[in-house]
Structures are given as C-alpha cells and as structure tokens.
C-alpha cells in the first residue's frame, strides 16, 4: 500500500491505527489496497451530484483499459476528503482511518464482486467495519467518530451545503470559461477555409 498523502493528521492517525491492527489483517490491507491518498477539495457524490458528506471511502481501482464489468475483483484504493477530515477531532480521525482500513480487510475476504456486494449492503458493512475497529482496540475512537459525525460534521455540512455548492459551481464555470477561451484562441489562429 502506497501512502500518497502529506497530511500530517492522516499520517499520524495511520501510525496509531497500524500499531493496533493484527498482523494477519494488516497483511490483507497491505496487499489489497494499492494506495491511500487525500482529496484536497470538496467532493460531489450520488445521482444528484450533491455534496459528499463522507470523510473517507474505499473504492475499486479499475484498469482504465478494461470495461469495469470484466473486472470482478479489482484492488482497492482508500481516499480521504481533507475538508471533511478537518471537521473531526484527532481522536475521531483515528476512528475514521481505522474504519476505512476495516472495509479493506472485509473486501479482501469477500473477493470477486466485493464492491457491488458491499455497496448493496451498505449499512450492514458499516456495522461490520465498526465492530472490527472495536476488536482492534479502538472502540473509543470509533465511538468518537460516529458521535461527531452525527452531532456536528453532517449537520454542519448540510447547513453549509448551499454555500459550498455555489463555490464548486463557480470553480466549474471558471474552468469552462478557460477552456472556451483557449478554444477560441485556437480557432482564431487557424487559417480560414472559405
């Protein structure tokens, strides 16, 4: 597993979690997860492209040259959303990092079709991951994560969502404007064909 983030809080949480994870589970994580990285900006998710409220996630890492339907057992990648991680205390962040790694242990065990199977039974898998984290000896950290998620992080994100979405749309509009400008400049420098 490659650690592709310089976030000191995530790296610190990872060091603490690593010490708690039994060797067998750590081996499963290290061979199943290709990399762990962070997104620095807000993310959108779901059919309606709403603001993602998740601080982290385990996702399949598909080979872009092969249709996903032909990749039944892709390796995994763990991604954290830094703007959301910042809303959690250090203690809860340890719980969050452990939770995502517990998903990876589970996915490695499930094998082929892991992502679809876990996605279908989302709430069940959430509980399974939390129980595994508790067994690793991080019960108070996972409890802190759940408590902060319910009481502060998610309510705050819902409250701030219109403002954050406006910022996101502005960024998209600015990117589109830049593409349009570059495109019109390219057209202007091309010889006219009439």
Please report, for residues 72, 77, 101, 111, 123, the alpha-carbon distance to residue 115 in angstroms, rounded to integers and kept in the order given. 9, 11, 14, 9, 14
Q: In terms of CB distance, is 7 or 100 closer to Zn ion?
A: 100
Crossing angle between the packed helical segments 139-148 and 122-135, to the nearest 10 degrees: 140
Backbone region of residue 62 per phi and psi (left: phi > 0; alpha: psi in -120 to 50; beta: other values): beta
Q: What is the smallest separation between the CB atom of 126 and Zn ion, expressed in angstroms?
A: 5
Residue 56 Cβ vs Zn ion, minimum distance, rounded to whole Å: 8
Q: Which is nearer to Zn ion, 1 or 104 (CB)?
A: 104
| CA 7 to chain CA mean position, Å | 14
> CB-wise, 51 or 142, nearer to Zn ion?
142
Rounded to the nearest whole angstrom, what is the least distance from the CB of residue 129 to Zn ion in the complex? 5
Binding site for Zn ion (CB under 5 A): 126
CA dihedral 57, 58, 62, 64 (to 10 degrees): 20
The beta-strand segments (E) located in the chain are 2-4, 33-39, 44-45, 50-51, 56-61, 75-81
Specify the residue, 37 or 168, whose C-beta has the smaller distance to Zn ion.
Answer: 37
Q: Specify the residue, 1 or 58, whose C-beta has the smaller distance to Zn ion.
A: 58
- Residue, CB closest to Zn ion: 126
């Amino acid at each position: 597993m490659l650690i592709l983030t310089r976030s000191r809080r995530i790296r610190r949480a990872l060091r603490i979690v690593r010490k708690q994870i039994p060797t067998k589970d750590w081996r499963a994580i290290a061979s199943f997860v290709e990399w762990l990285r962070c997104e620095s900006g807000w993310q959108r998710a779901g059919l309606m492209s709403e603001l993602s409220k998740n601080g982290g996630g385990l996702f399949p890492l598909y080979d872009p040259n092969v249709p996903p339907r032909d990749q039944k057992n892709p390796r995994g990648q763990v991604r954290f959303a830094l703007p959301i991680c910042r809303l959690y205390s250090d203690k809860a962040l340890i719980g969050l990092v452990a939770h995502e790694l517990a998903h990876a242990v589970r996915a490695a065990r499930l094998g082929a079709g892991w992502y679809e199977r876990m996605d279908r039974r989302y709430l069940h898998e959430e509980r399974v991951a939390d129980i595994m984290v508790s067994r690793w000896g991080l019960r108070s950290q996972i409890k802190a994560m759940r408590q902060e998620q319910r009481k502060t992080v998610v309510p705050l994100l819902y409250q701030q969502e219109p403002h954050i979405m406006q910022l996101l749309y502005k960024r998209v509009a600015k990117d589109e404007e830049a593409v349009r400008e570059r495109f019109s400049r390219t057209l202007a420098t091309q010889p006219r064909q009439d």
